[in-house]
Structure 1
Amino acid sequence: MSKDAPINAVAAQRWSSRMTFVLAAAGAAVGLGNLWRFPFVAADNGGGAFVVIYLLAVAGIGFPIMLAELAIGRHGRSNAELSIARVIGEAGANKAWRIIGALSIFIPFIGIGYYSVVAGWVVDYLLSFIASGGFGYDNPAQYQQRFDDLMASPARLLGLHFLFMLAVTYVVSFNIRSGIERVAKIMMPALFILLIGLVLYGFLEGDFQKGAQFLLAPDFSKLTGESVLAAVGQAFFSLAVGIGALMTFGAYLDEKANLLGGGANLHRRYRRGHFGRVGHLPHRVQLRAGNRGR
């Protein structure tokens, strides 16, 4: 095998189109960090000022790293560890750099330990909602009690975790087009519809105007060194850099694919994942926005 041949035979596969790649890669990143973590982290770190630092970190740090990971994956034609090993070998660099590839596999292995648990909760709520046609609770205390009941059942939690991991294993057992691509074509549009629903709900039920003002109007007096670090960390968390996912997805890109164009599309989708919910901010964000408006 020549050094230009794919390291892994599986890497001979390609994404069927740039759009499917964008959907799949966005699906790898748009998750808890965007839908759950971003609003309260922004609320705790100055609102609009945090958003400005976050966007600068995404554009100046996260986006270049994202392009680099895609390029490494496309060149290596394998997983993160082997792709980095190939680049290191061809460049004659110190082999100690291979630790980056090893960490890019180890970190998501740790991450799925809590993602799969939360995903199990989602499975439970989804099945219960479908079975009962809605929860029908009248006050937050009932929702809290339901969650407490779920937490008090370790066997149930373990079963939900197993069910979710079984589904994930089934999807990734197929090749790139029959597995991840097929699921991304269904689930990512569904996520987009859910985001629209959240925006409408926030607009109709929440204090949309004050929430948007708090999130989008910078107040740099609220910024601290800790806030800046939180914004940079959120940028990494949002773009899914440093966990090997983009390198792995890059391994299936065509040689002629425009990385800059594809990366820009990803960047836009990540931003929509954040700012599509300004009217559905956590309650304490809306309270702070209301206080600032007085």
Structure 2
Amino acid sequence: MAASRGEFSSRFGFVMAAAGSAVGLGNIWGFPTQAASNGGAAFLLVYLVLAFTLAYPALMAELIIGRHAHANATRALRSLSSRPLVSRFGAFTGIFGLVVASLILSFYAIVAGWMIAFGLGSLAQLLGIESVASWSTGFSLPRNLLFMLLFMALTIGIISEGVHRGIERWSERLMPALLITLLLLMAYVLTLDGAMQGLRVYLLPDFHRALSPDLIIAALGAAFFSLSLGVGTMLIYGSYLPDRENLPLVGGMVTLVDIFIAVCAGFLILPAMYVAMHNGVEIFSPSGSLLSEDTLIFTVLPELFATMGVPGALVSIVFFFLMSIAALTSSISMLEAPVAYAIEEHGIERRKAAWFIGGIIALVSAGILLDFGTLFGLVVSLTTRYSQPLLGIILCIYAGWVMQRNALLQELKQGNPRAEHGLFWKIWPWYVRVVCPAIILAIFTRSILG
């Protein structure tokens, strides 16, 4: 069954695709500022611990369910139980996850379009085409629509080619390019005046805050959401994973790559902010806190690049190229989830499904742009603040309570015949049953209460 619907041809291809899904704009702009605002290295240490005690077990729940069923999220969850009510609720959860993933992509495409626009603006500025530079970096409906549509076309084009020729092939190209670009930018920024102050903020811990409930909950949220959990993207990627692969091993590799890139982003963004401050750019709000992520990316850093002359324009082009890649590697997994559902449940040919569903999502994005002030924040909150935690809890419950224990073990033994004697099997089944849902519920409760 797996072969007819496509599968990853190599472990490297899967890790690059799954890590690409996990590594998004939040890793590169969100994680560093969260760390700086929550005790620097104290936040970093708590985040690293929780990434493996929460995010990794939840990731494994999706990968195991996906590969066990070799099907889309709706069919996979529906097939885990023979009880009609549980089966129907699983199918509903799968469909709800697809809707949430599509809504996330609808606002994600807008922000990704801004990244492409700012990169073009930097190039135009370098070439002396001021009118294009000004239009590309100004907030207008025509600009927002054009670059959102361009980004969606790129995403749809990759998904149209299928698992091996599309997702895997492009992930194997884009992820190494992202990592190399990130490391080169990081090395350059660390040579600039002011960078060491940012590095101290990032690496010197404020241990008085390390046990703060707010810091712990913030780190929990960062660890969970950084791996794109809850909406079925990792489940569908798991369904394309060959049976011969050792699931705990490849899941650990994905988690490590995601964490590594988030931590490296801290070595880029925090020093860059303090380089900007050294060059006279304001990086603190009137209340004394660091500026928020959107202000940082679209105001602080462009002002920094402007103070650097021609080298700044070159760095700006490379930086927004990096951000565009990060966005694209995430967006292809968001679109693949509903496309796989349309192919398997309704028999629609892949290219038609990709363009049809991608077109609908683009229309939703256009609707958000028409009333941006009201709809953008609303869609972000509904999806990432409320829906993802609830879906994460349900997926953990289905992996821990609904899927039969023997089926779990047999799935793990396909890639590791001695799985039942390993540490993963001794800890994970009860951990995903009790601990993960409880922690995610704590995150959800905190977000509801503000």
Same fold (TM over 0.5): yes
- Closer, same or farther: CA 81–219 of 1 in aligned 2, 3 Å: same
User: 1:153-192 alignment to 2 at 5 Å?
Assistant: 153-192=140-179
The whole-number CA distance in structure 1 between the counterparts of 2:100 and 2:241 is 23
Residue identity opposite 1:56 in structure 2: V
Q: 2:244 aligned to 246, 249, 256, which one?
A: 256
Give the equivalent residue in structure 2 for 1:58: 51
User: 1:21-170 alignment to 2 at 5 Å?
Assistant: 21-89=14-82, 93=86, 95-131=88-124, 133=126, 146=134, 150-151=138-139, 153-170=140-157
- Closer, same or farther: CA 209–256 of 1 in aligned 2, 3 Å: same
Q: Kindly indicate whether residue 203 of structure 2 is the aligned counterpart of residue 216 of structure 1.
A: yes
* Preserved contact between residue 35 and residue 43 of structure 2 (Cα < 8 Å): yes
How far is 1:99 from its partner? 4.0
* Secondary structure of the corresponding residue to residue 229 of structure 2: coil
How far is 1:103 from its partner? 3.2
Give the equivalent residue in structure 1 for 2:231: 243
Give the equivalent residue in structure 2 for 1:142: none
The whole-number CA distance in structure 2 between the counterparts of 1:98 and 1:46 is 42
The whole-number CA distance in structure 1 between the counterparts of 2:71 and 2:35 is 36
* Preserved contact between residue 189 and residue 268 of structure 2 (Cα < 8 Å): yes
User: Which moved further from structure 2: 203-212 or 24-33?
Assistant: 203-212
Question: Cα RMSD over matched residues?
Answer: 2.9
How far is 1:202 from its partner? 2.4
How far is 1:97 from its partner? 4.0
* Secondary structure of the corresponding residue to residue 243 of structure 1: coil
How far is 1:119 from its partner? 1.1
- Closer, same or farther: CA 88–57 of 1 in aligned 2, 3 Å: farther
User: Which moved further from structure 2: 82-91 or 13-22?
Assistant: 82-91
* Secondary structure of the corresponding residue to residue 191 of structure 2: helix
The whole-number CA distance in structure 2 between the counterparts of 1:103 and 1:218 is 40
* Preserved contact between residue 198 and residue 277 of structure 1 (Cα < 8 Å): no
The whole-number CA distance in structure 1 between the counterparts of 2:34 and 2:129 is 30
Residue identity opposite 2:250 in structure 1: G
Residue identity opposite 1:164 in structure 2: F
User: Which moved further from structure 2: 93-102 or 238-247?
Assistant: 93-102
* Secondary structure of the corresponding residue to residue 226 of structure 2: helix
Give the equivalent residue in structure 2 for 1:205: 192
User: Which moved further from structure 2: 277-286 or 248-257?
Assistant: 277-286
How far is 1:126 from its partner? 3.0
The whole-number CA distance in structure 1 between the counterparts of 2:29 and 2:268 is 11
* Preserved contact between residue 16 and residue 177 of structure 1 (Cα < 8 Å): yes
* Preserved contact between residue 88 and residue 95 of structure 1 (Cα < 8 Å): no
How far is 1:285 from its partner? 10
* Preserved contact between residue 209 and residue 279 of structure 1 (Cα < 8 Å): no
How far is 1:130 from its partner? 4.2
Q: How many residue pairs are counted as aligned between the two chains? A: 273
Q: 2:262 aligned to 274, 280, 285, which one?
A: 274
Larger relative contact order (Cα-Cα within 8 Å, sequence gap ≥ 6)? 1
* Preserved contact between residue 74 and residue 250 of structure 1 (Cα < 8 Å): yes
Q: List alignment gaps of at least 5 residues for structure 1.
A: 138-144, 289-294
Residue identity opposite 2:207 in structure 1: F
- Closer, same or farther: CA 166–64 of 1 in aligned 2, 3 Å: same
Give the equivalent residue in structure 2 for 1:16: 9
| Deviations 1:133-155 (CA, angstroms, capped at 9, x unpaired) | 46799xxxxxxx9489520x201
How far is 1:93 from its partner? 4.3
* Preserved contact between residue 30 and residue 273 of structure 1 (Cα < 8 Å): yes
| Deviations 1:10-44 (CA, angstroms, capped at 9, x unpaired) | 2xx22110000000111111111110100111112
* Secondary structure of the corresponding residue to residue 111 of structure 1: helix
- Closer, same or farther: CA 85–285 of 1 in aligned 2, 3 Å: farther
* Preserved contact between residue 206 and residue 279 of structure 1 (Cα < 8 Å): no
* Secondary structure of the corresponding residue to residue 277 of structure 1: helix
The whole-number CA distance in structure 1 between the counterparts of 2:120 and 2:12 is 31
Q: TM-score when scaled to structure 1?
A: 0.82
How far is 1:117 from its partner? 0.6
Give the equivalent residue in structure 2 for 1:195: 182
How far is 1:111 from its partner? 1.0
How far is 1:194 from its partner? 1.1
* Secondary structure of the corresponding residue to residue 79 of structure 2: helix
* Preserved contact between residue 69 and residue 76 of structure 2 (Cα < 8 Å): yes
The whole-number CA distance in structure 2 between the counterparts of 1:162 and 1:196 is 30
Give the equivalent residue in structure 2 for 1:234: 222
User: Which moved further from structure 2: 50-59 or 82-91?
Assistant: 82-91
The whole-number CA distance in structure 2 between the counterparts of 1:185 and 1:134 is 32
How far is 1:218 from its partner? 2.7
The whole-number CA distance in structure 1 between the counterparts of 2:203 and 2:172 is 31
* Preserved contact between residue 73 and residue 249 of structure 1 (Cα < 8 Å): yes
Q: TM-score when scaled to structure 2?
A: 0.55
